[in-house]
Structure 1
């Protein structure tokens, strides 16, 4: 494993650098980096439901969609992101989130903090979230990255991120802001630079890293071929789905936002958004459903050769079919009300 020093704060460039090392090298990588003010959107999220776009623009907050699934996170120079890129079957099996988060949790504990890995993808201190993690897997390699909220602009989070009650149906909290903590509030007088240096030293020792390189012009030039995607409005915003029927449901595996276009009893188009974690690209799942009859039998027939858990972590086929059929129930209810 190499330690990649990355002092760039352009979020599009930083994600392009990640993708370059993931796709174009065979290196295992650890890196710790920061962004300018940015809302990082999960790959499968609907930006129009997650972010108050005019408010974000007013505050000069960039909106960038990453490769990995999961939810939206706010980043700025007062907090940081860490990246691991690893090859091998051990990281591809099951849920490896806690495996990657382990040395981070151990470092926090070494500072005397009550840090734990919790739920699908969070690191907590005293029960408050200071880190969310996400993954993207391709060609036998895993890209794992996470936030670390050393300090945070809570006002920008409250103003620019949409608080959706459905996300907290099974939790005893009222909003994402009430769950957030910062590392700084638990430490006395340690600067963010000192914290980052200490964390990197700990991880270098943990993984016995003996190769250190810094992002330079050559690496930036090689990574630049991936820049256009992260700077593209088509990638970051996609299209508006005003003409589609929408239905949202929260399950243990994540929040699901379905967009469905029906005509003459058939599925003409479908999009599956949410903060779930995908294994295979869900667009392949969507393609299977287009043109099928909108009925339990039609949906099950279209998906007869599909193992849905190879697409979305933790989702059961019967739950997926149930969600799709609830869209029809929603149409019937709205028709009766009219």
Structure 2
């Protein structure tokens, strides 16, 4: 029983039981990005984990990880990552594509939803922000899920919900190869424009340069230690309740990865050859992309992509509703009103998605 390891904390203004998951026994497994992307699913679904867990992930290899609903063919420079032997993987959580190398630290909470915590990125980013401020970084949360300093992003957060449990975590760019990140990622121009920038490189930053002089040489492990002390409200790391992954646990994670996250179909998806590919960025929601074709005045195919964080939405419900719908504003508006947009994508309106499909200014397939 894990119960005896849990610590009772009030760090989040309510009583929680939380445990740190030590992944050090799985170095040989974690060389594969699909294993890292399967960890949260394991902690969400394995019955031995019933309350809040916290863990880190620090890769020794370079990879690009896309969100569950993203189109790799528009978000990733596939030629570049192949030429530079950068692994491509897809997570089950929402959010956008991220470039990960040994200069990046990833952290995640897995928690139970009390009706307000799912997609509450600020709550789970707060311990990290507090630590970074101690180190001299004027970190803040901006937008729906970004951590920034001086207007530049150093962390993106994502979330995954299965049943009543969910994960929420993000990356911390300490010494990431920014040039390689810029070359690897190709986000839509509408997303960059929404940030007032022209390229990935001008938007992101490493945070080491913002540390106080006495912290300039801090290591990844030292940063992890500071975050752990903040999360668990202790001064001594030995006081942190810890569960060390067993071989049985790693085999459980591997089964999840093998069944879903390692397949080419899961990672690459299907390349669309539709007539139109419309994209727009919506504040508080993210980028929504509509790939669709029209024949005889009717939509005969539709596929939705994007970096919105509602990873468990039923996009096929919307796509099925769209198929066969007349391509005109009145019919599209009625279709979207019957497609449960809030549950399936987020707080986007039928009017906004109708405009997205009708307005030719959003077409990126010229």
Same-fold status (TM-score > 0.5): yes
Aligned to 1:67: 92
Matched, 1:150 2:178: no
Aligned to 2:3: none
Query: How far did residue 264 of structure 1 move?
Result: 2.3
Aligned to 1:140: 164
Q: CA RMSD in A?
A: 2.5
Matched, 1:37 2:62: yes
Partner of residue 318 from structure 2, selected from 282, 285, 295: 285
* Aligned partner of residue 114 in structure 1, secondary structure: coil
1:73-152 → structure 2 map (5 Å cutoff): 73-92=98-117, 95-152=119-176
Aligned to 1:256: 288
1:128-277 → structure 2 map (5 Å cutoff): 128-162=152-186, 164-187=188-211, 188-205=216-233, 211-228=241-258, 229-252=260-283, 253-277=285-309
Query: CA 1:163 to 1:287, structure 2 compared with 1: closer, same or farther past 3 Å?
Result: closer
Judge conservation of contact 1:122–1:131 (CA < 8 Å) in 2: yes
Whole-angstrom CA distance in 2 between matches of 1:107 and 1:9: 28
Aligned to 2:36: 14
Matched, 1:5 2:22: yes
Query: How far did residue 255 of structure 1 move?
Result: 1.7
Whole-angstrom CA distance in 2 between matches of 1:269 and 1:11: 33
* Aligned partner of residue 127 in structure 2, secondary structure: helix
Whole-angstrom CA distance in 2 between matches of 1:269 and 1:16: 31
* Aligned partner of residue 169 in structure 1, secondary structure: helix
Query: How far did residue 163 of structure 1 move?
Result: 5.2
5+ residue gaps, structure 2, are: 1-17, 25-29
Whole-angstrom CA distance in 1 between matches of 2:299 and 2:87: 35
Judge conservation of contact 1:282–1:311 (CA < 8 Å) in 2: yes
Whole-angstrom CA distance in 1 between matches of 2:191 and 2:180: 20
- Number of aligned residue pairs: give it: 331
Aligned to 2:339: 306
1:318-337 → structure 2 map (5 Å cutoff): 318-326=351-359
Query: How far did residue 240 of structure 1 move?
Result: 1.2
TM-score when normalising by structure 1: 0.90
5+ residue gaps, structure 1, are: none
Query: How far did residue 327 of structure 1 move?
Result: 5.5
Query: How far did residue 294 of structure 1 move?
Result: 2.4
Whole-angstrom CA distance in 1 between matches of 2:33 and 2:330: 45
Whole-angstrom CA distance in 2 between matches of 1:304 and 1:181: 40
Whole-angstrom CA distance in 2 between matches of 1:194 and 1:304: 51
Whole-angstrom CA distance in 1 between matches of 2:325 and 2:64: 36
Query: CA 1:55 to 1:302, structure 2 compared with 1: closer, same or farther past 3 Å?
Result: same
Judge conservation of contact 1:64–1:230 (CA < 8 Å) in 2: yes
Query: How far did residue 90 of structure 1 move?
Result: 4.0
TM-score when normalising by structure 2: 0.83
